[in-house]
Structures are given as structure tokens and as C-alpha cells.
Structure 1
């Protein structure tokens, strides 16, 4: 079975202490686990995708403009990958795929499904933030596309602890995903 690792929104704005929409310490605690998984997938010659939120300054048409403070704005430090994950990305830039996304799901409005199909990938592994927003919506879309999903409980975090816990249960109980604890 071919698989892919999707590293979702592990950026400065979502993880750093001074990020615009940060998970803070729970997100920062993922750095080592996510970095190790990236290295493992690269070593196994599997597909690694960095799916990162992209917003424009003062976009009045984007629904998140009314829901959250401006974050992951094009050309800002907020879009840079956080910590060791950023360093691993720099070391392996030629071996991984950067995917800009403008919605919660890494599938919405992107060519991710096509990229996976071209490579014969039928299982995705999800890490990053936020468990109950972008990870969740990506997992729902994968379910709807018939793609098996694995989520690493120690590889995802949220700024909402209750939402995080709910999403982990939802992955298993409603989407049939495998949650590795």
C-alpha cells in the first residue's frame, strides 16, 4: 500500500508563541514527532506534502475573515514552517511537495486528490494543526473520497482542548480512521 504524509499548517502563525492564531505549547510539542515522521516517510520513499494555509491581506470574500484574526498572510513570516519541521523541509525541499490551500481541508480547491491518485496512494497520514479544524476537514474529505486515513494523536494539536479530544474520537468512531496513540 502506498501512503503519503500530510503535514498540515505547521507554520509560525499556528504554532509559535507569538503566532496570529497559535495553538501554543500543544502545537510546539509536536515538532520532534512531526520531524521524525517526515524523515521516516522520506527514507521510505513515500510522498510528503506540506499543506499550508494561504490568505491575502484584508480579503473580504474569504469566510475566515469573519471568524479568525488575519493569519498565514502571503509573504509574511506567519507562513514559514515552525521549528525543526522548517529545518527538515529546507534539507529535503526537492523530495517533498508544498501545497497552498485556502480552505480548512487540504483537498478543497487543490489538486491533492489528483496528486495522490497519480502516485497510486490510497492511504494518508495526517499530522499538524488544528486537530478539530484543518486536520478534521481534511480527514472528512479523505473519507468522502475513499482514502484510508491515519492520524497520529501525538502529531496533532489544537488551541481548543475539548475540540481536539472530540476530533480524535470522531476520526475513529465516525470516519473509521486509525488513530495512533
Structure 2
């Protein structure tokens, strides 16, 4: 069984005025991310929206030393960006669609994602979203260590720079065995 994990494709990470935006590279994948998600839904795959969420003023979270406040719970910055938000609104009531709040880079860290996937006999994961070299990569590393096979559609991931994106895609393929399509 297959699941698509849509990682952090939110206003704060994608919009020009987002709090920690990848800007144009992230905006360039908007249609591909929405289409891949719709395709997974129509194929009957499970879909997990793994979305970063932080509490305002949380000085104890390690990211507070590295990045400006972003994806603050209860703000519009956590909303799915553009067309993906529209797709989500159409499919969110389906029993195969899940919203997963995460606090760390990996969608597996501190969540029940692995349990949910195993309950559903999922063995293959398709990862989409941002940032390829941070949250997508850390999710992929955890998935690899848990025994999942990985597919990364390269037109559905983005980073702050093309160099970071390419480095991450190379790492995903050559170190984690991910299929890059």
C-alpha cells in the first residue's frame, strides 16, 4: 500500500511574505504538488498532510535559535498554500486523508505517523513539499530507518536554493535509495 506525505506546503514556507519562505522555488511546484496529491487521492492512496506547527514564544524549541517564528499555531501562516489548499478542502473529509501536526523537521518525530502507516499496511511513501533539504530529508531519513521505500517526485519538492535542492535529491537517491521521478 502507498501513502503520499505532503510536508509543510504552507503559506509561511511558500508565499512571498511568508515568515520562512522558500519563495519562487516553492511557488514553482504549486501545480505539480496539487496534481500529485489529487492523483494519489484518485488512486485510493492514503494522504497525510504533515504540517509544522509552533507555539508563539516557545523559547525551548530548538528551531527558535535557528529560524524566525513561523507556522505559528492558530495563524494563517499554517494554511496550505494555493492550489494544495483547494485540493485539501475537497478531500479532507475522506477517511484516507489525515492532518498531522508536527513540531520537528521529520513527520515521524514525536507523532504517531509510523503507527498509522503500519495499521494501514503502508510500505511505500511518496514525499512532496518543502524544504527538500530539511523537513523532506529528515522525514525520508526516519522513513528509511523504519523500512519504508521512498519515492520523491522532483517537481514536487523545493528548497531555498537550487543547490540545496539538488544536494538533497542526490542524498535521497544515493544514500537512502529513494526513487527520484
Normalising by the smaller structure, the TM-score range is: over 0.9
Alignment of 1:1-181 (within 5 A): 2-95=1-94, 96-180=97-181
User: Gaps (5+ residues) in structure 1?
Assistant: none
Hey, what's the Cα distance between the residues in 2 that align with 1:43 and 1:27? 24
150-159 vs 160-169, which deviates more? 160-169
SS of residue paired to 1:154 = helix
Aligned equivalents of 2:40 and 2:133: distance in 1?
24
After TM superposition, the score normalised by the length of structure 2 is 0.97
Q: Could you tell me how far apart the structure 2 residues matched to 1:40 and 1:162 are?
A: 28
Normalised by the length of structure 1, the TM-score is 0.97
Q: Structure 1 stretches (4+) deviating beyond 2 angstroms?
A: none
Unaligned runs of 5+ in 2: none
Q: Is the 2:12–2:20 contact (alpha carbons within 8 Å) kept by the matching residues of 1?
A: yes
Asked if structure 1 preserves the Cα contact closer than 8 Å seen for 2:123 and 2:149, the reply is yes
Q: Deviations over 1:84-103 (max 9, x none)?
A: 00011011111210000000
Q: 1-side partners of 2:75 and 2:5: how far apart?
A: 22
Q: Distance in 2 between matches of 1:42 and 1:157?
A: 22
